[in-house]
Amino acid sequence: MASAPDSPSLTRADLRSVFESSFSPHARAGAARELVGIEVETAALDPHTGAAVPYEGPAGLRALLEHLVRETGAVPVYDRSALTGVTLPEGGTVTLEHGGAVEYSSPPCDGVAELARVADGALRRLAAVARRFGFALVPGGQYPFTAPGDVAWVPHSRMPAMRRHFMSLGPSGADGVQVMSLALSTQTSLDFTGPEDLTRKLRALAAASTPAAALFVNAPLEGGRPCGLLSRRMDHLSRTDPARTGAVPVMLAADVDADRLVDWALDLPMIHRAAGDGGRRPAPPVPFRTLLTRGFGDGTRPGPADWRAHLSQVFTDVRVRETLELRAVDGPPYRALFSVPAFWTGLAYHAPSRDAAWELLGGITPDEHRAAQAHIARRGLAARIAGRPVRELATALLDLSAAGLAARVAAGTEHPEALSFLEPLREVAATGVTFAERLLADRAARPAGFPARHIAHHRIP
């Protein structure tokens, strides 16, 4: 909550503590645990028409959450009076995104194979409940059959503040609402154990995010029709609020650390803050460092919860708080879901692979990353970055990830099954045909009844 005017302002140590709370006392001895988590955003769809499921109604998203509370003992999460999520009894959460996406977030797990067991079980149970309400949960990169004007909005109190922020940016914010409403992704959360580990992991993963995204492009439809792109999601993101999305300069710096992250975040405006009624309200549109000295204008100044909330209001390819959240890639089809954490875990949790990725990609500039993101959105693996073939770089990253996973298996920190999760990506890299291109080919070959057929094939069973 916010501090009273006579309370001490947040200190530099307070600001750094969000990142440093994850530093392990065992890091120097090499005994720190490195866990892995996943967040899966799914489209809630009518299985016959592909229409988005609304929030309200006896078979809507709120009814789904109410069932989880009533029948499983899940703990409800409210935004003002609106039920927008639950905490599951076995760990993890289910939350609703602005445009109605149903997101499952796992508890942290010891490895990719354990994560797949835990998360797949939870997703199948959630999908079974959705089936009882007459709808399907379908992972991917974007709501495939919903036009921007047909979004099934969830009553999040932060939405007016988000709209105001993006609209205030002019052309660079125009796509922000589309990202919030229709985009889907599958994200991975990884640990860092100390200052040097943070630097090495963050810079390598930020540099790898752009070519890696080409392996996963999976958002070629909008309103049920080809949109002329392989990833509408990446296209929107490449043009949205460059100060807080994509590959930002600070995270690509060779010497990135907690202090540099603090300075970068202090220069960004806070978008929304806590309101007294359990919801969110717009924050003054000034840099966070200004809020520290001048306050919110209502007699209060930012407290620790405000700082942490501010850090959640950035949408970079790698978002840093207590963990590293890998956010760059489109959600793949269900059958390839765990290729996402497998890829990032192999790359991040094996020092030789991680350092080789930085050596391969560390010279690419932020502007070259952003230009490549727009190119990848159109051409996938056929794109180029800084004059180099994206397919070549993505394949090299995939090989490094596989080497990292194999090393973890040999060390006994990962189950051999983890390597099998990379197979869908190996097929993409070998053929050059992305998930998006396969989807488009399937639609072109058999357009009649495509929504129902697509959902039947790609829904979580």
What is the pairing mode between strands 245-246 and 315-316?
parallel
* Per-domain boundaries in the chain: 12-458
pLDDT band at 7 (very low <50, low <70, confident <90, very high): low
Encode pLDDT of 288-298 as tens digits. Answer: 999 999 999 99
Residue 46 tokens read as 């009518």
- What pLDDT does 28 receive? 44
Tens of pLDDT along 121-136? 999 999 999 999 999 9
Q: Which band of pLDDT confidence, cut at 50, 70 and 90, is reported for residue 29?
A: very low
Is-contact 65 94, C-beta < 8 A? yes
Question: What sign has the CA pseudo-torsion 253, 255, 258, 259?
Answer: negative
Rounded to whole angstroms, the Cα distance separating 272 from 159 reads 9
State the Cα–Cα distance between residues 130 and 233, nearest whole angstrom. Answer: 25
pLDDT digits (tens, 9 = 90+) for 135-163: 999 999 999 999 999 999 999 999 999 99
Residue 103 has pLDDT above 50, yes or no: yes
Considering only CA atoms, which of 12, 16, 126 is closest in space to residue 68? 126
Q: Which two tokens stand for residue 262?
A: 């603090």
| pLDDT exceeds cutoff 70 at 26 | no
The answer to whether the CB of 126 falls within 8 A of the CB of 461 is: no
What's the token pair of residue 191?
Answer: 């640990």
Mean pLDDT calculated for residue range 43-68: 99
CA distances (Å), origin 409, targets 338, 340, 342: 17, 18, 12
Residues 265, 308 contacting (CB under 8 angstroms): no
Joined tokens for residue 394 = 């993505």
Q: Following DSSP, what letter does each residue of 301-367 receive, concatenated?
A: B--HHHHHHHHTT-EESEEESSSEEE--SBP--GGGTTHHHHHHHHHHSSHHHHHHHHHHHTT--HH
State residue 173's pLDDT score.
82
Q: Check residue 2 and give its pLDDT.
A: 64
CATH number of 12-458: 3.30.590.20
Mean pLDDT of the chain: 96
**pLDDT score recorded for residue 31:** 55
Mean pLDDT calculated for residue range 17-21: 94
416-436: pLDDT as tens digits: 999 999 999 999 999 999 999
* C-alpha closest to that of 216 among 344, 111, 112: 344
pLDDT value of residue 446:
95
Specify the amino acid at residue 97.
E
CB within 8 Å of 324: residues ≥ 6 apart: 189, 190, 191, 192, 201, 202, 205, 318, 348
* Residue 79 · residue 157 · CB < 8 Å: yes
Instruction: Check whether 3 has a pLDDT greater than 90.
Output: no
Dihedrals phi, psi of 234, to nearest 5 degrees: -65, -35
Residue 5 reports pLDDT greater than 70: no
